[in-house]
Amino acid sequence: MRRSKQIALGSAGVAFFFLMMGGIAGTAYLPGFAGELGRMCLALVTSPFLMETAIFFLALALLFAVNGWRRNREGDDWVTLDEKGLPKKR
With 70 as the cut, is the pLDDT of residue 19 above it?
Answer: yes
Q: Which domain holds residue 47?
A: 3-74
Averaged pLDDT, 50-54: 81
Contacts of 79 (CB under 8 A, 6+ apart): 87
How many domains does the chain fold into?
1
Is 40 within a domain?
yes
Contacts of 21 (CB under 8 A, 6+ apart): 45
Is 61 within a domain?
yes
Q: What is the pLDDT of residues 24-48, one digit of tens each?
A: 888 889 899 989 998 888 888 788 8
Is 66 within a domain?
yes
Averaged pLDDT, 60-82: 84
Please check whether residue 39 is in contact with residue 30, taking contact to mean a CB–CB distance below 8 angstroms. no
* CA-based nearest residue to 58, from 87, 21, 28: 21
87: β partners: 81
Is 34 within a domain?
yes
pTM over 0.75: no
